[in-house]
């Protein structure tokens, strides 16, 4: 659904986005991670046809970014939540959405259905007749998200959708994104909240002007440290340690009653390790898989 090849944007001597190549499938929730100034928003602005690319190629669906005729079609098929919500603050929540529904040439019935559906889903229906200017920051953000999807876009760009929201509002927005995910929309999510990306994204990319990693969150976690299991015992002794090493496993850490063992496939390998422990007189309490977090991966890659 979204393809880029060596996509680059320069502002004078500054290279904001440097040779980014991506493939995002239809119906995928794709997270774009990176520090401030990494080029995330600039990439979205190019893909949304708000600014021109310096070089490289990009397509949304079958339409080329940089082709004027295609860009008009792209704008109709995408929804965009920007960093600044940009609502008409004197208009009610309902009228804000109705205005944009008219802009996208939705019928009156379609506008009414969409507005009621979105405002109810985001918990704003009771406030539909209140001016947007009286809303809290979180309510404005939710209204801006509703505006971005009022026309049923195939592709949705969300730039920091939960930035500066309280936990309750953040959860509402995440739940809404997950509802959109069920509808098989393609969602491109800029975020610096790694826990959020891990919960809702199918794949993520880490950007620092250049693309430095792409993959499923679990793949990126394993790429940093492989897989590891933590075994808790009543106590650990030398014979237990020797038995595990004898069957070919590396022990990463040993404490008074726990072992951390590097494995490739714990689902298949755990039984042999447990058998060796039991045969050595060990008294097992539990086994869990541990590993790096997405935050560990992110910090390691971004810091180089």
Cβ count within 10 A of residue 271:
10
- Beta-carbon contacts of residue 152 (< 8 Å; ≥ 6 apart): 114
Of the pLDDT bands very low, low, confident and very high (cuts 50, 70, 90), residue 226 is low
* Pair 147, 176 in one domain: yes
Q: At what angle do helices 93-103 and 108-121 cross, to 10 degrees?
A: 130
Residue 302 falls within a domain, yes or no?
Answer: no
Q: Which residue has the higher pLDDT, 7 or 192?
A: 7
Q: Which residue has the higher pLDDT, 190 or 290?
A: 190
Which of 136-150, 191-205, 215-229 has the least mean pLDDT?
Answer: 215-229
The number of domains in the chain is 2
Residue 52 falls within a domain, yes or no?
Answer: yes
> Tell me, what's the pLDDT at 86?
85
Q: At what angle do helices 108-121 and 137-149 cross, to 10 degrees?
A: 140
Which of 45-49, 53-57, 192-196 has the least mean pLDDT?
Answer: 192-196
- Sheet with 78-81, edge to edge strand ranges: 78-81, 155-159, 186-190, 29-33, 203-208, 210-215
The fraction of the chain above a pLDDT of 90, given in percent, is 68
Of the pLDDT bands very low, low, confident and very high (cuts 50, 70, 90), residue 53 is very high
Q: What is the mean pLDDT of the chain?
A: 91
The answer to whether 217 and 291 have CB atoms below 8 angstroms apart is no
* Pair 140, 227 in one domain: no
Mean pLDDT of 43-71: 95
Last residue of a domain, one of 215, 247, 279: 215
* Pair 125, 80 in one domain: yes
Nearest to 127 by CA among 138, 174, 171: 138
Q: Report how far residue 184's alpha carbon sits from residue 155's, in angstroms, rounded to the nearest whole number.
A: 10
Q: Report how far residue 37's alpha carbon sits from residue 241's, in angstroms, rounded to the nearest whole number.
A: 48
* Pair 65, 120 in one domain: yes
> Tell me, what's the pLDDT at 227?
78
Residue 241 falls within a domain, yes or no?
Answer: yes
CATH number of the domain bearing residue 149? 3.40.50.300
With a cut of 80, say whether residue 202 has pLDDT above it: yes
Q: What are the tokens at 91?
A: 């208009």
With a cut of 90, say whether residue 291 has pLDDT above it: no
With a cut of 80, say whether residue 223 has pLDDT above it: no
258-263 and 227-233 strand pairing: antiparallel
* Pair 266, 147 in one domain: no
> Tell me, what's the pLDDT at 198?
85
Residues 91-115 pLDDT 10s: 999 999 999 999 999 999 999 999 9
Q: What are the tokens at 163?
A: 């930035």
Last residue of a domain, one of 154, 182, 215: 215
> Tell me, what's the pLDDT at 225?
60
* Pair 162, 188 in one domain: yes
> Which residue range is the domain that position 10 belongs to?
2-215
Q: What are the tokens at 32?
A: 């774009």
CA distances from 20 to 150, 180, 193 (A): 30, 26, 22
Q: What is the pTM of this model?
A: 0.79
CATH number of the domain bearing residue 248? 3.30.70.980
């Amino acid at each position: 659904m979204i393809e880029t090849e060596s996509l680059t944007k320069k502002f004078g001597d500054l290279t904001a986005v440097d040779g980014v190549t991506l493939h995002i499938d239809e119906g995928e929730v794709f997270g774009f991670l990176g520090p401030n100034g990494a080029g995330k928003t600039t990439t979205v602005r190019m893909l949304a046809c708000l600014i021109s690319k310096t070089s490289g190629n990009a397509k949304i669906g079958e339409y080329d970014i940089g082709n004027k005729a295609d860009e008009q079609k792209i704008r109709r098929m995408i929804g965009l939540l920007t960093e600044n919500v940009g609502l008409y603050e004197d208009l009610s929540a309902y009228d804000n959405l109705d205005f944009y529904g008219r802009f996208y040439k939705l019928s009156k019935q379609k506008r009414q259905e969409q507005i009621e559906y979105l405002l109810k889903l985001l918990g704003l229906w009771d406030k539909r007749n209140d001016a947007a200017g009286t809303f809290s920051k979180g309510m404005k953000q939710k209204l801006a998200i509703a505006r971005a999807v009022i026309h049923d876009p195939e592709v949705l760009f969300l730039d920091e959708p939960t930035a500066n929201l309280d936990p309750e509002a953040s959860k509402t927005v995440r739940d809404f994104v997950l509802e959109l995910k069920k509808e098989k929309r393609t969602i491109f999510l800029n975020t610096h909240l790694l826990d959020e990306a891990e919960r809702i994204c199918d794949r993520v990319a880490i950007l620092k002007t250049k693309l430095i990693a792409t993959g499923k969150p679990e793949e990126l976690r394993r790429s940093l440290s492989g897989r590891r299991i933590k075994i808790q015992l009543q106590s650990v002794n030398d014979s237990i340690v020797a038995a595990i090493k004898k069957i070919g496993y590396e022990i990463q850490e040993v404490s008074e009653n726990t072992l951390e063992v590097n494995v490739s496939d714990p689902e298949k390998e755990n039984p042999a390790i447990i058998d060796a422990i039991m045969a050595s007189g060990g008294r097992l309490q539990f086994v869990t898989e541990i590993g790096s977090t997405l935050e560990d991966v992110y910090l390691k890659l971004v810091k180089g």
